[in-house]
Structure 1
Amino acid sequence: MTKFQALLLDIKDKQFYKAMLAIALPVMLQSFISSFINMVDTVMVGRLGEVEIAAVGIANQYFFFFMMFLVGLCGGVSVFIAQYWGKKDIESIRKVLGLGVVSIAIVTALFLVVGYANPTWVISLFSNDATVLRSGSSYLVVIMIGYLFTGITFLYSFSLRSIGQAKKPLMVNIVALFCNVFLNYTLIFGKFGAPALGVVGAAWATLISRVLEMVILLLVVYAKDGPLRASFKELFHFDLAYAKRAYQTILPVIMNDIFWGLASLVYIAVYGRLGTQAVAAIQIVNTVNNLFMVVAFGLSSAAAVLIGNAIGAGEEDRVHAFTRKFMISAVEVSLVMGAILALTSPLILNFFEVSQTVRTSAQAILYMTSIIFFIRVMGIMLVVGILRGGGDAARALLIEGFTMWCVGVPMILLGAFVLKLPVHFVYALAISEEIVKVILSLARLRSGKWIKNLT
């Protein structure tokens, strides 16, 4: 028996899986509910027509870009909080949380200035259809009001997970999301005496739900004493030197998600040039895929927290053992989920009232994604869960940036504009970058150089 095998036996499986599931299951459930309700939203908007589906999908690409800044920022902050929590350094947890609040306010202000200056121009980046431009712009000007509320909610949700309290943001999210469904039904179709606002109604429903979610979450955080219950002074008790030091880790995480987000926006822009039906097919595929990708989000979140806690506590042997267990779990669960996706996707597509052309393209793409589903989950686990959780944000940035921009983007441009392939074949070429990402990430993992104590 090797030393590593002995170490694995020394770690009680029940303790590990209990800790993993305490974080992973709430994140999975929260992501699933969010994705499911997003699918319900898409179905509701779809009742208005394919143009409306495309308009909302494209308008949400601007929010998606904002989310890349937001998720990167919150992810970077959570790396510190996880390691500080392993060390039980409450003062530093509150300090880096305050840095996150200030950063979110700045990023939100920048997005609002650009978005409100010319919302039609923002939509035109992804589609030149006049009806899509009109509907998308009206949706965007309303939904942007909620960006700051969403930012604060994300920051505190990530932070709660990093200290092992994943159930709290889950419960708050459930309330907000079901509120969103009710308001969507009411405001899109004009029920219960409300006016039928169509696409704009969907925007108002989402905005109200996001405000409600932030308010409830902050009330939960400040109801009892805890690591995140910081006073104004504790939150903003950081100087420029600390911010600069923290951003040496946070910035690569932000840049990682920005590079990934920009490449994804290029993908959407390319699909937009293939026609409104192509955009509608991709919107449906992304909605369905997100239902199944909850596995990756949950497991990678648990990996980042537990690995970060172990590094902060100085337990490097346990870091290696956790890593192996997370990789095995990711492969096993994702193979099952990929099979379920392949079997259930024809039934799920029945809920969308679209043309046969859109349905055929969406079905072909969903079959492709089910085949390489385990590769996608491994990529997220390696980059977001293990490398970032280990503090190796700079290398994660290099890997993600290279695979998206040097593999994915050239392949989608080749398929769309040189080979002039149908949307499902273009999509197939684009996902080749997932395979390259896993290969490069595994090489970094084997080197052992990814473990970095940031405390």
Structure 2
Amino acid sequence: MFKSQKLFLRVDRNFFKKVLIIAIPIMLQNFITSSLNMIDTIMVGKLGEVEIAAVGIANQYFFLFSMILIGLCAGCSVFISQYWGKRDYVNIKRILGLGLVSALVVSIVFMILGYINPDKIISIFNKDSQVIDLGGKYLFIVLFSYIFTAIIIVYSYSLRSIGNTIAPLIVNIVALLCNVFFNYVFIFGKFGAPALGVEGAAIATLISRVVEKIIILFLVYKGKGVLAAKFSELIDINISFFKKAYKFILPVLLNDILWATASLIYSVVYGRMGTKATAAVSICNTVSNMFMVVTFGMASAASIMIGKSIGEGKEEQAIDYSKKIMMLSFFVSIILGLTLALTTPFILDLFNVSAEVRSSTSIMLYTISTIFVVRFMGMLIIVGILRGAGDARSALLIEGSTMWFIGVPLTILGAFVFKFPVHTVYALAIFEEVAKFILGLRRLKSRKWINNIT
């Protein structure tokens, strides 16, 4: 046993180096993004539970928006990775242009819908009048940032797909610093600014997104790499190319929409269970996402490496990569699950909440730590390996079916039929993670998931 592990580590140093070069900057970027959300939650949390719930619910609308963008960009990025393997720079620019146009259309639609009646959107998730009022004000301001967010996400995913993970990381670091500073200024009224509470948090987010967009475009065009495309190159898209691209992008997009919609239903369920339940889940999700950043990094590395190998015509190498990254991820996920369990009491000390909210949040975090390996591996298979290999339809079927036929029904039954407490309802949704992992593993063993989409 130990000899085989040592042999694996010695023989595959080159593999580990490739994974870490891609994964670590993405992990850091996702960690910074999650830190940004956590800092927002902590700073707004100093104002009270109602404010936490208001911002948490308002961000559910952004969550749906961002998941649609991520679905678009994830689909585009698989094309870019495979075109990168072929050194087909013309089509990389076309896919980038298609992604930008699609993302801008989505952002404009969400902005218009949000501005029509922001309070109505908040009321879908929670009936507390204070939460609706504060959440509506926050949403109205933060909607301005959606166009900037669209551009940022498209370029971040595209840069990652060609192996440039440093530029998005730099941009995120600057965004984090900006957001923390302007949160401090506008939430609490420092340096002569008025104390605006949750509206101040929204203003800080808007400023950070503007700065982020300016920097990422500067880095792309200063480097004059493959993504520094002219306008004419970005819009050089004919009908046949559009159909070819969206034949793959649509299953990825639908997958993320189904996932995001199911997640929003969870939020509606928790929101209808009361403000304390909403606050507990908001804190739990913020904390658990901090630990899931490693998953996103590993999944991104898997997607990029496998996609590039397929683009180069090296299918056996892609299969070999999938096995090795699964083994590496298994050990990493065990360590992360244990770390989450051990640090939960100390993390919860950061939040100014009631004993009831703290107790519920604590139970949920311990539950997550228990099944962390299953959640980690399931996401790696779906988001990293299957998508990266061009098997978007299988990823859609596995994730869509487990959420909508297991997770969502169990959550609704637990909350409204059996009247379970929020931590028990939260635990019921975890059954979907187990099913997702089992089905994903079966698909991998079939060896039918390699698909050259270019």
Same fold (TM over 0.5): yes
- For 1:30 and 1:224, the matched residues in 2 are separated by 20
Does 325-334 or 27-36 show the bigger shift?
Answer: 27-36
Q: Does 1:149 align with 2:179?
A: no
Please list the CA deviations of residues 41-64 of structure 1 after superposition, one character each: whole Å capped at 9, or x if unmatched.
Answer: 111101111000000000000000
Q: TM-score, normalised by structure 2?
A: 0.97
Matched residue, 1:291:
290
Matched residue, 2:429:
430
Matched residue, 1:136:
135
- For 1:102 and 1:239, the matched residues in 2 are separated by 14
Matched residue, 1:165:
164
Amino acid at match of 2:52: I
Please list the CA deviations of residues 342-371 of structure 1 after superposition, one character each: whole Å capped at 9, or x if unmatched.
Answer: 000100000000000000000000000000
Secondary structure of the equivalent of 1:453? Answer: coil
Matched residue, 2:408:
409
**1:154 deviation in Å?**
0.7
**1:11 deviation in Å?**
11
Does 92-101 or 25-34 show the bigger shift?
Answer: 25-34
Secondary structure of the equivalent of 1:293? Answer: helix
- For 2:189 and 2:341, the matched residues in 1 are separated by 36
- For 2:38 and 2:237, the matched residues in 1 are separated by 41
Secondary structure of the equivalent of 2:125? Answer: coil
Paired residues in the alignment total 449
- For 1:284 and 1:225, the matched residues in 2 are separated by 42
Q: TM-score, normalised by structure 1?
A: 0.97
- For 2:14 and 2:143, the matched residues in 1 are separated by 43
- For 2:223 and 2:173, the matched residues in 1 are separated by 21
The 5 A counterparts of 1:148-297 are 148-297=147-296
Amino acid at match of 2:20: L
Secondary structure of the equivalent of 2:410? Answer: helix
- For 1:319 and 1:188, the matched residues in 2 are separated by 49
Does the C-alpha gap of structure 1 residues 134 and 42 become closer, same or farther in structure 2, counting only changes over 3 Å? same
**1:230 deviation in Å?**
0.5
**1:109 deviation in Å?**
1.4
- For 2:123 and 2:8, the matched residues in 1 are separated by 57
Matched residue, 1:110:
109
**1:12 deviation in Å?**
5.1
Matched residue, 1:32:
31
**1:290 deviation in Å?**
0.9
Matched residue, 1:323:
322
- For 1:389 and 1:282, the matched residues in 2 are separated by 31
- For 2:104 and 2:158, the matched residues in 1 are separated by 17
Amino acid at match of 1:26: P
Extract unaligned runs of 5+ from structure 1: none
Secondary structure of the equivalent of 1:237? Answer: coil
**Superposed CA RMSD:** 1.3
User: Which runs of structure 1 show a deviation greater than 2 angstroms over 4 or more consecutive aligned residues?
Assistant: 8-12
Amino acid at match of 1:261: A
**1:37 deviation in Å?**
2.7
The 5 A counterparts of 1:46-65 are 46-65=45-64
Does the C-alpha gap of structure 1 residues 453 and 110 become closer, same or farther in structure 2, counting only changes over 3 Å? same
**1:224 deviation in Å?**
2.0
Matched residue, 1:369:
368
**1:225 deviation in Å?**
2.0
- For 1:327 and 1:224, the matched residues in 2 are separated by 34
- For 1:260 and 1:71, the matched residues in 2 are separated by 12
Does 235-244 or 204-213 show the bigger shift?
Answer: 235-244
Please list the CA deviations of residues 73-117 of structure 1 after superposition, one character each: whole Å capped at 9, or x if unmatched.
Answer: 010000000000011100010000000011011111111111111
Please list the CA deviations of residues 312-344 of structure 1 after superposition, one character each: whole Å capped at 9, or x if unmatched.
Answer: 000011011100011011111000000000000
The 5 A counterparts of 1:324-339 are 324-339=323-338
Matched residue, 2:395:
396
Does the C-alpha gap of structure 1 residues 213 and 10 become closer, same or farther in structure 2, counting only changes over 3 Å? closer
Give the share of equivalent positions with the same residue, in percent: 57
- For 2:93 and 2:158, the matched residues in 1 are separated by 10
**1:10 deviation in Å?**
13
- For 1:87 and 1:288, the matched residues in 2 are separated by 40
- For 2:329 and 2:374, the matched residues in 1 are separated by 10
Amino acid at match of 1:230: A
Please list the CA deviations of residues 366-410 of structure 1 after superposition, one character each: whole Å capped at 9, or x if unmatched.
Answer: 000000001111011000000000001111111111000000000
**1:171 deviation in Å?**
0.9
Secondary structure of the equivalent of 1:125? Answer: helix
Amino acid at match of 2:84: W
Amino acid at match of 1:241: S
- For 1:29 and 1:379, the matched residues in 2 are separated by 21
Extract unaligned runs of 5+ from structure 2: none
Does the C-alpha gap of structure 1 residues 86 and 10 become closer, same or farther in structure 2, counting only changes over 3 Å? farther
Please list the CA deviations of residues 401-454 of structure 1 after superposition, one character each: whole Å capped at 9, or x if unmatched.
Answer: 100000000000111011100000001111110000011111111111110001
Amino acid at match of 2:401: F
Amino acid at match of 1:56: V
**1:239 deviation in Å?**
1.1
Amino acid at match of 2:148: F
